[in-house]
Amino acid sequence: MAGSGSIWRRALTVGLVAGVAVLYLATVGLVLAFAERSFVTGVTSFGRVILAIPPLAAGFVIGSRAGSVNARLAAGLLAGAISGALLAVSLLFASAVDIRGVLIRVSAPLISFVAWDQDAVTGAGINLALAVGLGLVGAALRIAPRSVRMPVLAAIIGVVVMSLLERFLRPRLTELDFTDVARFLYQGGGLTVPAALITFVLVAAIAVAWSPVRSRVQRAAAGTDAGQRSTIRAVLIVLLIGALLYLPEVVGTFFSQVLVSVGLYVLLGLGLNIVVGYAGLLDLGYVAFFAVGSYLTALLTSPLSSLGLGLPFWVALPIVIVGAAVTGLLIGAPVLRLRGDYLAIVTLGFGEIARLLFLSDALKPWLGGTQGILAIPDMFGVPRIELPILGVISGPELTYYPLVLFCILAIFIAHRLKYSRTGRAWNAMREDEDVAEATGISTVNYKLLAFAMGAGIGCLGGAVFATHLESVFPGTFNIIVSITVLSIVILGGMGSIPGVVLGSLALIGLPELLREFAEFKLLVYGGVLMVMMILRPEGLLPDRARQLELHEADEEETGDDDSLAPSAPRAAEPTPEGLT
């Protein structure tokens, strides 16, 4: 094989990268943070899972190289061995020399955890052996046919998710009197061994069954006409909304709170998605709109604010949104002639200016300085409401339901705009601003429109946020909010509406199941931005146009890859009708 000479060098590189990754994960504190979080109780913890991922991935990557099966397996083994050797050597070093003065996480507990509570030499040996095995397994998994690989991967992910859900499912099942189920599934903070096995088999079985089912569904879908399809879609939407309405009932009070956070970020994400995803304007100061919305709401509704109006929320809301859109125009107007990357920095500057002004003593008489504004009334002014179908609504649910409504509204607007003349103009501008202008699109107007839309939705989020917390503090509105919303949009896929929902669930909802993770949230956001841009810039749920792009790429792999070469393959074909 042509590539067999280089596969060893490649294995060396990949193994080294994996080894460095393992060391990084350990020294940055992730491993120890998850050492106590049980994965499958009595078997292993999430800390070990984290340590296992790099060598496994290294084997997997090597397995995709060209070469004979044996060579690939051996290379996977080699990569794992190098990764393991690096860890083993570092373990020996760390147990001999105290480096805590610099790398503060390299503590005795970490060392003994990594060494499996054995002495350093034995621990090093265990790690080396494990890494070799993992590299081999990774390579084998990659070499295995797709029909085996996919179910196994799905099953592994399934078990991880099931174990993560412990935080949510165990208390909730107990609360709902399914104590036995809870005890069967979870013990000692993790999955029980039987539950893990059942999950693995179940998910694998579903994955195996999935592909025939999918093709049948696809065939059925191909047979439907447009009318039927829109009926199906309507039914699905109704079902989805119904599910959303019952969700707080199902998940309980604590997770209703989480749902509110997720919903809030969905709203913010939808707003930013219009600016970044549709119009291609990178706004790093999106938090400013969120802050303006919150503060405007606070000023208008709180009896303690400098205005002292004490308006009801629903009266204040339209004023807030109009105020927000005007802010968007005012901020947008001067900056819109700037090129893309400068625009990003200017908006970042605006965001920081807004935060510093809200914080400052200079504006304290009006905005409350560091103390913020308190006593913002509830959305409805009452602690509980009784509704016909949903029953008594109280606590976070009082925010949840209006928030769902706002999200649906925002999704509706975003969807309508996307497939309109306006949406096309935005997309054209994103693709090539000069050409869009020359095609007759007033780019300044369309940029302003995108800014104002984003601002309006962001402020709506701010208004909900203020009334939900019943207070606003300047400390909340920092650049991290902007970056979080941007990460959500990027992870889901720029321009993709379902992507925003997925991104919020993953970046806002998931951390609630992983509270050990809180300290590493920003690290992960940073990683998400980098990895997505390098490996999958279209996001996890790309919008339709970008999906086409992927689809096309798949086709090209199988067939004529020279179709982009100037004029070559088409020249001989018959000329298009009407021209001959």
Site for another protein in 2-41 (CB under 8 A): 24, 27-30
Summary count for the chain: helices (H), strands (E): 24, 6
In the shown chain, the binding pattern of residues 349 to 378 toward another protein, with x for contact by CB under 8 A and - for none, equals xx-xx--xx-xxxx-x--------------
- Based on CB atoms, which residue is closest to another protein, 119 or 431? 431
**Identity of the amino acid at 261:** S
Q: How far is the CB of 350 from another protein (least distance, A)?
A: 6
Is residue 335 a contact residue for another protein (CB under 8 A)?
Answer: yes
Closer to another protein by CB, 134 or 481: give it: 481
How many residues line the site for another protein (CB under 8 A)? 106
Q: Where are the beta strands (DSSP E) in 179-286?
A: 186-187, 190-191
Which residues within the stretch 55-74 sit at the binding site for another protein (CB under 8 A)? none
Q: Which CB atom, from 196 or from 452, has the smaller least distance to another protein?
A: 452
345 binds another protein (CB under 8 A): yes
Residue 432 lies near another protein (rule: CB under 8 A): yes
Closest by Cα among 118, 12, 116 to 58: 12
424-438 burial, b at 16+ Cβ within 10 Å, e below that, comes to: ebbbbbbeebeebee
- The answer to whether the CB of 169 falls within 8 A of the CB of 182 is yes
To another protein, the closest distance from the beta carbon of 355 in angstroms equals 9
CA gap 160, 268 in Å, rounded: 29
Pick from 420, 515, 518, 561 the residue near another protein by CB under 8 A: 420
- State which of residues 193, 238, 309, 435 lies at the interface with another protein (CB under 8 A): 435
HSE-up (13 A, CA, CB side) for residue 309: 12
Shortest reach from residue 360's CB to another protein, in Å: 5
Site for another protein in 81-120 (CB under 8 A): 101-105
Q: How far is the CB of 29 from another protein (least distance, A)?
A: 5
Is 444 a residue that touches another protein (CB under 8 A)? yes
Q: Give least dist CB 99 to another protein, A.
A: 11
d(CA 331, CA 450): 12
DSSP H helices in 376-518: 397-418, 421-431, 433-438, 443-469, 479-492, 497-504, 510-513
Nearer to another protein, 384 or 544 (CB): 544
Q: Per rule CB under 8 A, is residue 203 in the interface with another protein?
A: no
d(CA 271, CA 559): 40
- Residue 529 sits in the site that holds another protein (CB under 8 A): yes
Give every CB contact of residue 9 below 8 A, 6+ residues apart in sequence: none
- Contact in structure between 113 and 32 (CB atoms under 8 Å): yes
By CB under 8 A, name the one of 341, 386, 554, 557 that touches another protein: 341
Q: Does 249 bind another protein (CB under 8 A)?
A: no
Smallest distance from the beta carbon of 442 to another protein, in angstroms? 5
Interacting residues with another protein between 450 and 489 (CB under 8 A): 453, 479, 483, 486
Letter string b/e over residues 35-58, b meaning 16 or more CB atoms within 10 A of that residue's CB = bebbbbbeeebbbbbbbbbbbbbb
- Amino acid at the residue 519: E
Among 149, 172, 424, 536, binds another protein (CB under 8 A): 424
The label of the residue with tokens 């020399």 reads 97
If one asks whether residue 226 binds another protein (CB under 8 A), the answer comes out as no
With binding defined as CB under 8 A, does residue 567 bind another protein?
Answer: yes
User: 162 vs 348, which CB is nearer to another protein?
Assistant: 348
Is residue 518 involved in binding another protein (CB under 8 A)?
no
Look-up: residue for tokens 């913890």? 45
Stretches 75-83, 308-316, 413-421, 508-516: which one binds another protein (CB under 8 A)? Answer: 413-421
Is position 570 an interface residue for another protein (rule: CB under 8 A)?
yes
Choose which of 214, 384, 416, 515 interacts with another protein (CB under 8 A). 416
Alpha-carbon distance 269 to 155, whole Å?
Answer: 31
The residue length of the chain stands at: 580
3-class secondary-structure state, position 75: helix
Backbone angles phi, psi at 190, to 5 degrees: -140, 180
Structure tokens given for 55:
């060598």
Distance separating alpha carbons of residues 407 and 404, to the nearest angstrom: 5
Check binding of 222 to another protein (CB under 8 A). no
Judged by CB, which is closer to another protein: 43, or 523? 523
Q: Which is nearer to another protein, 329 or 513 (CB)?
A: 329
Query: Around 108, how many Cα atoms within 13 Å sit in the side-chain half-sphere?
Result: 0
CA distance 78 to 10: 10
Which of 46/200 has CB closer to another protein?
A: 46
- List the interface residues with another protein, window 140-169 (CB under 8 A): none
List the interface residues with another protein, window 254-293 (CB under 8 A). Answer: 280, 282, 284
Q: Please tell me whether residue 564 binds another protein under the rule CB under 8 A.
A: yes
